[in-house]
């Protein structure tokens, strides 16, 4: 699947409701997924960020299998995927990010810029979920 087609497909998947409390956002530009763990919180949002390894032939997202040192090692369920980072973004704009033992392989400068971009998207979406856009 061409990169352009992949991005178009991911754009169509941009917001996915996981449950009443959880929300998943797919970033087509950076090939990341943000999982908001409890969107009912007013003063902070806890997040998990996963890296998309690609898409299955039927268009479903594929994540790297949690704990598997071999690449590629795809799984289809987000719950079975490797978490890239976890964090908390607070109402006042402060963020707490934990990269823990995450491995990152970038093939270009753009891959490094994508980390900043996905963190900025996570920040903006968390602030919006808390209804604090006018305070930032």
Q: pLDDT for 29-61, tens place per residue?
A: 677 888 888 878 889 999 999 888 877 777 777
Q: pLDDT for 66-110, tens place per residue?
A: 888 877 788 888 888 888 899 999 999 999 999 867 677 788 898
Instruction: Report in angstroms the alpha-carbon separations of 51 from 24, 107, 116, 119, 120.
Output: 13, 14, 13, 12, 15
Q: Is the pTM of this model over 0.95?
A: no
DSSP state of 1: -
Instruction: Report in angstroms the alpha-carbon separations of 45 from 29, 99, 117, 134.
Output: 22, 17, 18, 17
For residue 52, the cross-strand partners are: 63
Residue the block writes with tokens 């991005």: 7
- For the chain, the domains span 3-135
Contact call for residues 40 and 87 (beta carbons, < 8 A): no
């Amino acid at each position: 699947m061409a990169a352009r087609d992949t991005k178009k497909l991911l754009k169509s998947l941009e917001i996915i409701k996981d449950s009443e409390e959880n929300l998943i956002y797919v970033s087509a530009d950076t090939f990341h997924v943000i999982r908001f763990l409890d969107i009912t919180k007013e003063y902070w949002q806890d997040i998990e960020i996963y890296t998309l390894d690609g898409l299955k032939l039927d268009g479903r997202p594929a994540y790297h299998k949690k704990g598997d040192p071999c690449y590629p090692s795809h799984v289809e369920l987000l719950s079975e995927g490797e978490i890239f980072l976890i964090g908390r973004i607070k109402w006042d704009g402060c963020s707490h990010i934990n990269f823990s033992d995450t491995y990152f392989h970038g093939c270009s400068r753009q891959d490094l810029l994508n980390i900043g971009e996905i963190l900025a998207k996570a920040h903006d979406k968390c602030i919006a979920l808390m209804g604090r856009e006018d305070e930032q």
